[in-house]
């Protein structure tokens, strides 16, 4: 059983809504990213997603695009991200997922990436623009290295592709609650519940729902339909606003604790 399997099994056993947090590696710098991950972990995040900055982040809204631009300007690469994770991993309780576009991984080489990610203590990989139909070899390479492959599902994903993603995927499935790019919203998308229902009809694999999640109320609502909520842009916004401030970590801890204040599943 992988660390992600253990985490979601524990979440289900205590009947609460899990929290997956996302940050962009190297924003504001790699040293601070390690501190941020330790803070999120200590504040109660169940899974830590670490985004690899990319030059053409097509699925990301302006908040995460700006984070990628800042990180790339500071010299953050996939290799540097893996080193940072390796340097930080021993201090973290939660599983770590590398969240990347396919291009940086393919440029490094899938086998080289898998070996370096394994050695860094990474638990799962989400290559968000890798088509399910072309993921077989990638998934096999990750599996050989002991890494869970996580797939992204959108409201336009067919039932057949949802089923295939569940067959190939491990750890959990990441459901996008609405079309469009990432970004915090004041209200959850109307399509979140039916999206979760469609996925549940195909598989009982753990499900995390994201895109637009920013409040404790959102997290509680998602707990009615899925195992965990994913919060990304709202956390990156806190980092953007307080990057040069010594109180950044305390602000992040307070925000995560607020998000988990309604942690009990409905």
Angle (CA) 153-228-198 rounded to 5° is 40
How high is the pLDDT of residue 213? 87
Average pLDDT over residues 234-243: 93
Query: For residue 179, what pLDDT is reported?
Result: 43
pLDDT tens, residue by residue, 174-198: 998 644 444 444 456 677 888 899 9
Work out the pLDDT band at 262, boundaries 50, 70, 90.
Answer: low
With cut-offs at 50, 70 and 90, classify the pLDDT of residue 113. Answer: very high
How many Å apart are CA 213 and CA 63, to the nearest integer?
14
pTM: 0.93
pLDDT exceeds 60 at position 153 = yes
Percent of the chain whose predicted confidence (pLDDT) is above 90: 80
Peptide bond into 14 cis (omega under 30): no
Q: Which helix (H) or strand (E) holds 39?
A: helix 30-43
Instruction: Give whole-number Cα distances, 65 to 72, 104, 212, 223, 231, in Å.
Output: 11, 16, 15, 28, 16
The confidence band for 21, taking pLDDT boundaries of 50, 70 and 90, is very high
Confidence check: pLDDT of 4 > 70: yes
Whether 5 is catalytic is no
User: How confident is residue 212, by pLDDT bands cut at 50, 70 and 90?
Assistant: confident
Using alpha carbons, list the distances in angstroms from residue 36 to 85, 113, 199, 254. Answer: 12, 23, 32, 13
Evaluate if residue 43 carries a pLDDT over 80: yes
CB 175 within 8 A of CB 162: no
C-alpha to C-alpha distances, 119 to 35, 84, 105, 146, 195, nearest whole angstrom? 20, 12, 16, 10, 35
Average pLDDT over residues 167-177: 92
**Nearest to 124, CA basis, from 113, 132, 108:** 113
For residues 98 and 89, give the distance between their C-alpha atoms in angstroms, rounded to a whole number.
13
Please report the pLDDT score of residue 195 as a whole number: 87
Residue 264 has pLDDT above 80, yes or no: no
What's the token pair of residue 258?
């607020």
Spacing of C-alpha 243 from chain mean position: 21
Percent of the chain past pLDDT 70, that is, above it, reads 93
Averaged pLDDT score across all residues of the chain: 91
Q: Which of 36-40, 54-58, 194-198 has the lowest mean pLDDT?
A: 54-58
Please pick, among 49, 123, 148, 249, the residue that the annotation labels catalytic.
49
- Residue 181, pLDDT score: 40
Query: How would residue 10 be classed by pLDDT, with cut points 50, 70 and 90?
Result: very high
pLDDT-derived band at 58, boundaries 50, 70, 90: confident
Q: With bands split at pLDDT 50, 70 and 90, how would you rate the model's confidence at 206?
A: very high
Interatomic CA distance for residues 34 and 84, integer angstroms: 7
- Which is the catalytic residue, given 60, 148, 227, 249? 60
Confidence category of residue 255, pLDDT binned at 50, 70, 90:
very high
Domains and CATH numbers, the chain: 3-259 (3.20.20.70)
Told to judge if 49 belongs to the known catalytic residues of this protein, a careful annotator would answer yes
**Band (59; pLDDT cuts 50, 70, 90):** low
């Amino acid at each position: 059983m992988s660390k992600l399997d253990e985490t979601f099994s524990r979440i289900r056993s205590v009947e609460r809504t899990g929290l997956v947090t996302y940050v962009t590696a190297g924003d504001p710098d790699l040293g601070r990213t390690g501190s941020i991950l330790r803070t999120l972990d200590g504040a109660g995040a169940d899974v830590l997603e670490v985004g690899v900055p990319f030059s053409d982040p097509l699925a990301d809204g302006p908040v995460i695009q700006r984070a990628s631009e800042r990180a790339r300007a500071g010299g953050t690469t996939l290799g540097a991200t893996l080193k940072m994770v390796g340097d930080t991993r021993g201090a973290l309780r939660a599983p770590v997922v590398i969240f990347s576009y396919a291009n940086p991984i393919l440029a490094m080489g899938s086998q080289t990436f898998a070996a370096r990610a394994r050695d860094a203590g990474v638990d799962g990989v989400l290559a968000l623009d890798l088509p399910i139909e072309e993921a077989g070899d990638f998934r096999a390479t990750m599996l050989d290295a002991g890494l869970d492959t996580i797939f992204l599902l959108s409201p336009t994903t067919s039932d057949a592709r949802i089923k295939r993603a569940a067959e190939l995927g491990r750890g959990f499935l990441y459901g996008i609650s609405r079309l469009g790019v990432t970004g915090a919203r004041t209200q959850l998308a109307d399509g979140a519940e039916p999206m979760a229902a469609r996925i549940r009809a195909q598989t009982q694999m753990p499900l995390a729902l994201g895109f637009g999640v920013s409040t404790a109320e959102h997290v509680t609502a998602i707990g009615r339909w899925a195992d965990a909520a994913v919060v990304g842009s709202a956390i990156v916004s806190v980092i953007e606003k307080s990057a040069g401030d010594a109180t950044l970590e305390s602000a992040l801890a307070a925000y995560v604790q607020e998000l988990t204040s309604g942690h009990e599943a409905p």
